[in-house]
Structure 1
Amino acid sequence: MGRRDVVAIGASAGGVQALQHLAAALPADFPAAVLVVLHIGMHRSALPRLLASVGPLPARHAVHGEPMHAGCIYVAPPDRHLLVSQGSLRLSRGPKENHSRPAIDPLLRSAAVDCRARVIGVVLTGYLDDGSAGLAAVKACGGLAVVQDPEDAYAPQMPSSALATTAVDHVEPLSRLPALLDRLVREDQPLPDVKVPDIVKIENDMTLLEGRAVENRMPLIGKPSSLTCPECHGTLWQVEDGSRLRYRCHTGHAYSELSLRESQRESTEAALWAAVRALQEEAMMAKEMARSLQALGRSTEALAEESRARDAMARAESLGERLLRMVGADAPNG
C-alpha cells in the first residue's frame, strides 16, 4: 500500500488566479508536496507570496538541492527549470523547452521518473501545449493525470492538448480540483510498479545534463528532420514516442508542434522587422548622400539618391504595414 505524495502542477495564461484558488482551498494538513511551474520567463515573480497569502500552506521559491516536504508549495523561480532528482529538488538553467524556462514538461517528466506512481500531474489553464508530453510521461510511469476542464479555463488550449494526448484520469473545473487532489493524496492503495519507459528516461537524462553531451542520445529517441532549431539553429530531431510530433536539437532545446510553430513565427517576425529597419536605414543613408552630392553640385546623382531613398522608405512602410496586420491576426501565447 502507498500514497501519492507529490503533486506537480503546470499553468500559464490565467495561471496566477487558478493557482491562488488551489492554494486557498487546500487544507493545512495536505499530505503531499506541491511543485508548481508557471510560465514567467525571466520576470521577477511574487507567486510564492501570493500563494502563501491566500491559504494555509507555506509557499516559496524552490532551492537547489533541498528535499521535498509534504504540505509545502515549491515554485519554480524565474529562468530556471524545476526538476526532481533523487528525491530532492533541482534547479536548472538548461535549454528551454517549448520556448519556455521554466517549462512544465521538464517538471512533470522528472517527477515521473524519480517518483513514478507517487506523482499526480496537473495541467491548468494556458495557451499552446506545454505539459502535454510531461503529463503523458506521468501516466507512463504509473502516476495520475489531472486536467482542468478546458471549458472552465481562462485559456483552454493547454488543457485541451493534454486531453488529446493522454488518457487523463480526472477532468474537473477549477472549483472541484482542491477537493479532488486532497482525496487522491489521502488514499491508501496499491501503487503500480511500472518500469520507466526508455524514451522518458532518456529525455529526462538530457534535461538533467543541461545541454551537455546529448549527441549520442539523439538517435535513441528519434530521427533527423529537415527543420532547424529556432534557438540555436541546429538540426531538429523528430521524437518518436507514439504521440503528437515533438522535436529536440543536440543542444537540448525541445518543442511540441505548436511551440515550434510559435517559435518559428517569432523568428520570422523578428527577421522581417530587421528587414524593415534595414530598409529605413538604407533610406536615411540615401538621403544623407543626396544632401552631400547636392552640396557638391552633383544634382543628377543627388536626384538618383533621393529616388532611392523614396523607394526604400516605401518598401519599409509597406512591409511594416503587412507585419502589423500579421501580428494583429496571430493568437496570443503563454
Structure 2
Amino acid sequence: MAAPRPLSRITLPEEVVQKDRRKCARYDQCGLGEKAVYLGSALMPRRYYIPYEAITHVFKRVAVSNGAGKGFLAPILYLVVRYDDGQERQCSFRYLQDADKMLDAIESAHPEIALMSPEGVQKAREKRQKEAAIENAVLSDAEEHEVRLLNNAKLELEKRPGLYEKLAVTAKRKRTADLTNPRYQTLAAVICSAGVIAILAGLLLMHRRVGGSLPLLVILAGAAAVFLMINSGALPTPSHSRKALTKAYNEALAAMEKSLRNTTFPFAAAYAHPIVLERCIRIIKEGRAETALAALEELKRDLKAADSSVALSGKDYSDVITIKPLFTVNDYR
C-alpha cells in the first residue's frame, strides 16, 4: 500500500508514518495513530496524514441537503480537521457513533486539540463568561428570598421524580393528540383496513393458484400499508385516543396537585418541573424579573419565542422540548 501523503507543512519520515498507520485505531475512513491523524480520500481510506502538533481543531460538521432529508438526500456528517494556519480537511462518516468515538479518543490522548470549530470555541467562551456573570450576580434581599423559595420548591419536587416526569410525558402526548387532525386518524384507519383486505385477497388468490406472482405482490403491498400506518402513530387505538391521553394527563396533574397540597410551591402544579424552576432562578439572576411569578411570565415569553425558526442546541434544546408541552397544553395560562 502506498505511503500516506502529508497535508501539513509538518511531515514525518515515511517509515514512521507507514508503521504508525498500520497500528492506528480505525474510525470509518479515518484513523488515529500515535503520531498523526489519518484521513481518507474518495477512493482510499487513511490516504492522508496530519501530525498532531499541526492540528488545532477537530470538529463535526453536517451538510444538510434541500431534499426530504432521507436516503441519498439525508444530511452528510463530516469530521473536519483544522491545521497549520487555518487550513481544513474534512472526511465523511457513515455513522455518528464512529465520529463521536474518534473525538473521544482525541480528547483523551490530546486534550490540547479543540473539539469545536473556532466559532464554536468563541461561543463556548462567551457562554461561560455569561454563566459566570449570572452566578456571581448581586441580588437584593427580596430577590434572594425568591431564589431560595424556588430552590426549596425544586428540592421538594426532586423527592418524587416520577410525578414530574409523568406529568411532562403525558402533557407532551396530549399536546400531540390535540394538534392531530381527526381526519388523519380516519385516513390511517382506512388505509390500514385496505392493507388488511389486500393481504386477505392475496392469500385467497395464492390459495386458488391464480395470477402468477400477483398474489405475492398484493400481500406485500397490503403488509407495507399496514406496517406504515401502525408505525405512523395516527391509528385511533383506545390507548392513543385523545380522550385516553387527556385522562392520563389529568390523572398525572391530580397526582402532582395532591403531592404539593401542603407545600409552598410557588406555581400551579401544571408547571411543576425542576427545569421550570431552574429557568426561573436564572431569569431572576439575569435581572429580568424580581419575583418568582414574574420570572414564570418571562419564561412563558421565552418558550413562545422558541419556535422552529430559533436554533437551539445542547441543554437549551433538551430543556425546551421537555417543559414546553407543560405550557402549550395549558395555552400558557
TM score, norm. by length of structure 1: 0.18
Larger Rg: 2
Structure richer in strand, relative to its length:
1
Higher relative contact order (CA 8 A, sep 6+): 1
TM score, norm. by length of structure 2: 0.18
Structure richer in helix, relative to its length:
2
